[in-house]
Amino acid sequence: MADRGRDVEVPSTIASGEQTVWVDVSSLLRAACDDLQDGELVHGENFSLFASMSALEIMDPKMDSGIENCAYHSVEEAIENGVAPVPFSFDRTVDVQCTIDVMDHLLACEATWHKGNSLAQTVFSCIYLLRLERTSSHALLNSYCRIIRATCSAVISIVSDARTHEEEDIFTMAYGLPLKGEGDEKCLSMLNAVEETISRQLRACKAQSSKKRVSEEITCGTADTEPLQTNPNLEEGYCKALLSRIRFRKHFYHVLMCMRKPHGRGLELARKHIASCQSELACILKSSEFLASNVRGGSQNDIEEKTTASGCRPIGFDASLNSKLSAPTPPRAIKIVSWNKAIEYFEKLLNDLDIICSFSMDPLLENILRSVVQFQKRKPDLVARAHLQVLLVQDGKLYGRDLIFDVICKAAALHEITKNHETQKNEFLLPLGQLLINLFKVLCTNLAWQRRKLGKILQDWAITSVQLTIALNRELEENSNVYVDENVCMKLSKHLLIWAEEQTYWIAYRFLTLGFDLELYSPSEYCMVYWFIYCILVKLSEKAQLKMVASTDAVKRKGKKKKDISKDVLNDQKLSPAVLLLQCYICLSEGLTMMLAALRNEHNAFQTPIAFNTEEEVHTQKFRAHLAHIPNDHVSYLLYKQSTVHVRFSTLVKYNYFRDAQRIVKELRSSFSSDPDRLDELRQIEQIAEHNRVALNVICQAGASDTSLKVSFEFTQSPCFAIAVVKRS
């Protein structure tokens, strides 16, 4: 790594400025080249080892994206060598077969792209797309490629707008690709024209086959219709296969366009197009039997591998041709998903989009958060998540329609206290609005990224809560002779504070539970995680209850005389269904904490490995960075240790937390009788509680001395709340 060329003649210099000179280093470089061995480097003082580490080794196939590992130097050269002929064949049957294969492979490429690979190595591995103008004589291929291109542009645009793709940025990278071209705005009319022609051909062939040719000719106008291809026996099958593919593209493009309309105005129509897409997908799937039985040779036999319905290898694709576009990053391994997987992908995408389209556009924050979390349980891919985010937040407004200010006022029950103009004076509404918009966006990102972002914004929420507390205390000091409830400003601050704290705990809860989805917890950490979840849930339910009391209090106060007030507040201690639901989870998390603690204390199970550190460091690492700021004085490691170190099965069996959860579930059923989602949730809680209650009894009966019992935890009922499984070894 040393500088070479010590013996080389010092080059002459040319002054070029006050402190710089130009030096001719050709001779130095030549000498260095002659002297350099493999793995050696010429470097100056400002070129560090770290910088050299970022070097890519040229001609190393693992690193060099620009390496020519393809038979052709350029797209043009590939075309000259007949890789992408137009037409595919002068035999019109073969030409149709090849066209369908290209369509199918493009669908597989599109799904692979959506799954997080580069556009250049998936959809744009199609030479016909790279040089669309060449296909102008082939109306079918041309119109299909054009709508693919327009669709890709539309998808990139929505994903870029949503910015939910921080970790999936490879998705929108499209430089160097011909993504937009003249005439793309007419892509739908071009496709319609082709569809019309093929429909006519289908009608003609049906008429012919039903031997009613003479009469039909007049009514259908099919007399001069030239068939799609030359084999009359295959005409209907090919017409149908093409029509379903064309119609799918058309409706899919409509779906994207409708969903982009502001204020969710196009959602209803989008749902109709989604339904059409789904039925066309079913037709496409059905066509595979026909297509596979009429192959032209060169088939891909493995159903898990094949990227076309026929199983034939498509003509005109070469992923290595533009792999140079991904330089300077090393090449990524790309495997195009199979045709079956691609169909599955689009079925799932359409279902996800359909759910977004049927969003109630509810302005109530609680319901929005719940719906988004529910939606994420379906594990939607990037494109669906981007659509959700663009729907939720447009132009800084909820659904592009409701002011975030109003959303907060409603959520924190501010309107019950005072009029808008009074509320707007509160200095915290603007930053809280920003935090809320940010939260909406974060909740639409992939779970891994989401958890990290939640950890960060959790601090912002916590800091704002602290600032609100300080402001409220200041107001209290300044107005020491006035009750909070009698001063509008102070009351606003109080309501906002309760609400901001509630959101903070909600985010913390989401942050903690996502750790289970992402498999970030090991069984030895479950105990402390559930204990932390328990602490957060207790706080969350406190705030939720406080908020409810505060808002009902405000409503009642308006119509009542002063002396009645104190009595009402006392009567309002009944818990709301939402709070009771939280109580169920409190029981589950406390029950799991205690069961795990007892297992650790009495069975020596689920111990933290001790090599370089102790459980305390693990606790610190798990929770310090993100959760240290939240206002909760109950979450220190010492308190955790104190709460769990004495836990014994003998006490647990007397006070069974899981039985409590079951009791609350029973109470809650009637409150949620009209909400199937909530009822499902209750059933799930009931199952988790029942399994764990039984497991706990079994362990208790066996006694601590029975070492043959093996206890493990499974997540079969919920991704977050485990079920203890007891086995005798």
Partner 1 sequence: MEATEDRESDPVEFDPSEIEYVSYGGEHHLPLIMRLVDVELSEPYSIFTYRYFVYLWPHLSFLAFHRGNCVGTVVCKMGEHRNTFRGYIAMLVVIKPYRGKGIATELVTRSTRVMMESGCEEVTLEAEVTNKGALALYGRLGFIRAKRLFRYYLNGVDAFRLKLLFPRSEMSRSLLAAIDREASHLYDHCQPPVGSPDVQSI
- Residue numbers 328-357 binding partner 1 by CB under 8 A: 330-333
DSSP sequence for 290-346: HHHHT--S-B---TTT--SSS-BPPSSB-TTTTGGGGTTSPPPP--PPPHHHHHHHH
Minimum gap (Å) between residue 379 Cβ and partner 1: 13
Toward partner 1, which CB reaches closer, 190 or 334? 334
Identity of the residue, 290 or 521, whose beta carbon is nearer to partner 1 in the bound complex: 521
Is 707 a binding residue for partner 1 by CB under 8 A? The answer is no
Helix/strand/coil for 639: helix
Q: Which one of the spans 129-137, 223-231, 428-436, 447-455 is the region binding partner 1 (CB under 8 A)?
A: 447-455
Q: What is the contact mask toward partner 1 in residues 112 to 151, using x (rule: CB under 8 A)? A: ----xx----------------------------------
Decide whether 1 or 223 has the Cβ nearer to partner 1: 1
Q: How many whole angstroms separate alpha carbon 515 and alpha carbon 535?
A: 16
By CB under 8 A, the residues from 624 to 643 that bind partner 1 are 637-638, 641-642
Regarding 612 and contact with partner 1 (CB under 8 A), the answer is yes
Binding mask 166-185 for partner 1 (x = CB under 8 A): -xx-----------------
40: which residues sit within 8 A by CB, 6+ positions away?
A: 1, 4
CA distance 217 to 203: 10
Minimum CB distance to partner 1, residue 653 (Å):
17
The residue whose two tokens read 């020596």 is 604
Q: Which stretch binds partner 1 (CB under 8 A): 60-68, 91-99, 432-440, 474-482?
A: 60-68
How near is the Cβ of 330 to partner 1 at its closest, in Å?
A: 6
Assess 14 for contact with partner 1 (CB under 8 A). Answer: no
The span of 176-184, 247-255, 260-268, 608-616 binding partner 1 (CB under 8 A) equals 608-616
User: Cα–Cα distance between 469 and 473 in angstroms, integer?
Assistant: 6
The helix (H) or strand (E) run that includes residue 662 is: helix 657-669
Question: For residues 395 and 519, which CB has a smaller minimum distance to partner 1 in the complex?
Answer: 519
Contact indicator for 570, 671 with CB cutoff of 8 Å: no
- As a whole number of angstroms, the longest Cα–Cα distance in the chain is 101
Binding flag, residue 59, partner 1 (CB under 8 A): no
Q: How far is the CB of 337 from partner 1 (least distance, A)?
A: 12
For residues 13 and 52, which CB has a smaller minimum distance to partner 1 in the complex?
A: 52
Q: Do the beta carbons of residue 403 and residue 395 sit within 8 Å?
A: no
Selected from 39, 44, 82, 676, the binder of partner 1 by CB under 8 A is: 39
The amino acid at residue 518 is L
d(CA 594, CA 607): 14
CA distance 152 to 146: 10
The residue range among 50-58, 288-296, 312-320, 478-486 that interacts with partner 1, by the rule CB under 8 A, is 50-58
- Residues that bind partner 1 (rule: CB under 8 A) add up to a total of 58
Instruction: State in angstroms the smallest separation of the CB of 36 from partner 1.
Output: 12
Other Cβ atoms within 10 Å of 403 Cβ, number: 13
Does 452 bind partner 1 (CB under 8 A)? Our answer is: yes
Residue 49 touches partner 1, criterion: CB under 8 A? yes
Q: Which residue of 184, 521, 671, 698 would you call a contact of partner 1, by CB under 8 A? A: 521
Task: Assess 214 for contact with partner 1 (CB under 8 A).
Answer: no
Alpha helices in 329-446 (DSSP H): 339-357, 365-376, 382-392, 404-411, 420-424, 429-443
Closest approach, Cβ 62 to partner 1, in A, equals 3
Q: How far is CA 11 from CA 24, 28, 182, in A?
A: 6, 8, 54
Identify which range of 46-54, 174-182, 220-228, 543-551 contacts partner 1 by CB under 8 A: 46-54
State the nearest-atom distance from the C-beta of 639 to partner 1, in Å: 10
Query: Which of 60, 77, 268, 362 is in the footprint of partner 1 by CB under 8 A?
Result: 60
Q: Which of 613, 651, 701, 707 binds partner 1 (CB under 8 A)?
A: 613
Q: Burial-class residue 337 by CB neighbours within 10 Å (0-12, 13-18, 19+).
A: buried
CB atoms within 10 A of CB 243: 20
Nearer to partner 1, 335 or 421 (CB): 335
610 sits in the region (left: phi over 0; alpha: psi -120 to 50; else beta) called beta
Q: Which two tokens stand for residue 206?
A: 């049906």
Min dist. Cβ of residue 637 to partner 1 (A): 7
Interface residue with partner 1, options 614, 701, 707, 712 (CB under 8 A): 614
> What is the rounded distance in angstroms from the CA atom of residue 629 to the CA atom of residue 632?
8
Choose the binding region for partner 1 from 14-22, 84-92, 262-270, 518-526 (rule: CB under 8 A): 518-526
DSSP-assigned letters across all residues of 73-88: SSHHHHHHTTSS-SSS
* CA–CA gap between residue 719 and residue 714 (Å, rounded): 9
> Residue 441 or 451: which CB sits closer to partner 1?
451
Strands 723-728 and 709-714: antiparallel
Segment 62-121, which members bind partner 1 (CB under 8 A)? 62-63, 116-117
Pick the binder of partner 1 from 518, 555, 628, 725 (CB under 8 A). Answer: 518
Q: Is 456 in the site for partner 1 (CB under 8 A)?
A: no
d(CA 714, CA 455) in angstroms, rounded, equals: 26
| 437 φ, ψ (degrees, to nearest 5) | -60, -45
Per-residue contact string for residues 645-684; x = within reach of partner 1 by CB under 8 A? xx-x------------------------------------
Residue 363 belongs to what H/E stretch? Answer: none
Q: Coil, helix or strand for 729?
A: coil
User: Which of 346, 629, 685, 212 lies closest to 460 in space, CA to CA?
Assistant: 629
Q: In angstroms, what is the minimal distance from the CB of 349 to partner 1? A: 18
**What residues contact 331, with CB distance under 8 A and at least 6 apart?**
61, 62, 63, 64, 65, 323
Interacting residues with partner 1 between 492 and 511 (CB under 8 A): none
Which ranges of 174-321 would DSSP assign to H, the alpha helix? Answer: 187-209, 213-216, 232-259, 267-293
Candidates 174, 618, 661, 665; binder of partner 1 (CB under 8 A) is 618
Is 617 among the residues that bind partner 1 (CB under 8 A)? yes
Please choose, out of 192-200, 288-296, 356-364, 513-521, the segment that lies near partner 1 by the rule CB under 8 A: 513-521
* Angle (CA) 299 300 306, round 5°: 130
Shortest distance, CB of residue 262 to partner 1, whole angstroms?
30
Q: Which residues bind partner 1 (CB under 8 A)?
A: 1, 38-39, 41, 49-50, 52-53, 55-57, 60, 62-63, 116-117, 167-168, 330-333, 446-449, 451-452, 518-522, 525, 601-602, 604, 607-614, 616-618, 620-622, 637-638, 641-642, 645-646, 648
